[in-house]
Amino acid sequence: MNFVYANLSTSLATTQPGWLTTLQNLVGPMVACMVAFLVVFWLSTVIWTFRDIRARTQDFLLQIISTVAVAIFPIAGVFVYMILRPRQTLAEIYERQLEEESLLAEMTERQTCSNCHARIESDFQVCPSCGQKLKRSCPKCERLLELRWTFCPYCTTNLAGAPMPSMPGMANMQGVPNSNIPMGGPIPGNRF
Ligand SMILES: [Zn+2]
Ligand SMILES: [Zn+2]
Q: How far apart are CA 136 and CA 165, in angstroms?
A: 24
What's the mean pLDDT when you consider all of the chain? 80
- Contact yes or no for 118/131 (Cβ under 8 A): no
Domain assignments of the chain as residue spans, ordered by start = 35-94, 110-162
Q: How far apart are CA 63 and CA 66, in angstroms?
A: 5
Per-residue pLDDT, 190: 45
- Residue 77 CB coordination number (10 Å): 20
Q: Looking only at Cα atoms, what is the longest distance across the chain?
A: 154
pLDDT exceeds 80 at position 73:
yes
pLDDT exceeds 90 at position 22:
no
**When comparing pLDDT for 179 and 56, which is higher?**
56
Per-residue pLDDT, 48: 96
**Å from CA of 168 to ligand 2 middle:** 28
**Å from CA of 119 to ligand 1 middle:** 8
Start-to-end Cα distance in the chain: 154
Per-residue pLDDT, 121: 86
- Give the ligand whose atoms come closest to the C-alpha of residue 155: 2
Express each pLDDT in 96-115 by its tens digit.
Answer: 999 999 988 887 777 888 88
Q: Tell me the residues surrounding ligand 1 (ion) with CB < 5 Å.
A: 113, 115-116, 118, 127, 129-130, 132
The torsion angles phi and psi of 157, rounded to 5 degrees, stand at -70, 135
**Å from CA of 123 to ligand 2 middle:** 15
Taking each helix axis as running N to C, give the angle between helix 2-56 and helix 60-72, from 0 to 180 degrees, rounded to the nearest 10.
170
In 3D space, the residue among 140, 172, 169 whose CA is nearest the CA of residue 156 turns out to be 140
Per-residue pLDDT, 160: 81
Per-residue pLDDT, 156: 92
**When comparing pLDDT for 15 and 157, which is higher?**
157
pLDDT exceeds 50 at position 185:
no
Per-residue pLDDT, 14: 54
> Which residues have CB under 8 Å from 123's CB, separation 6+?
135, 144
Mean pLDDT, rounded, for 80-85: 93
Any bridge partners for residue 14, and if so which? none
**Å from CA of 187 to ligand 1 middle:** 67
Any bridge partners for residue 119, and if so which? 112
Q: What is the CA radius of gyration of the chain?
A: 46
Express each pLDDT in 143-175 by its tens digit.
Answer: 999 989 999 999 998 888 644 434 444 444 444
**Å from CA of 82 to ligand 2 middle:** 65
pTM of the model: 0.48
The one-letter amino acid at 27: V
Percent of the chain with pLDDT over 70: 74
**When comparing pLDDT for 59 and 168, which is higher?**
59
> Which residues have CB under 8 Å from 139's CB, separation 6+?
157, 159
- Give the ligand whose atoms come closest to the C-alpha of residue 115: 1
pLDDT exceeds 90 at position 93:
yes
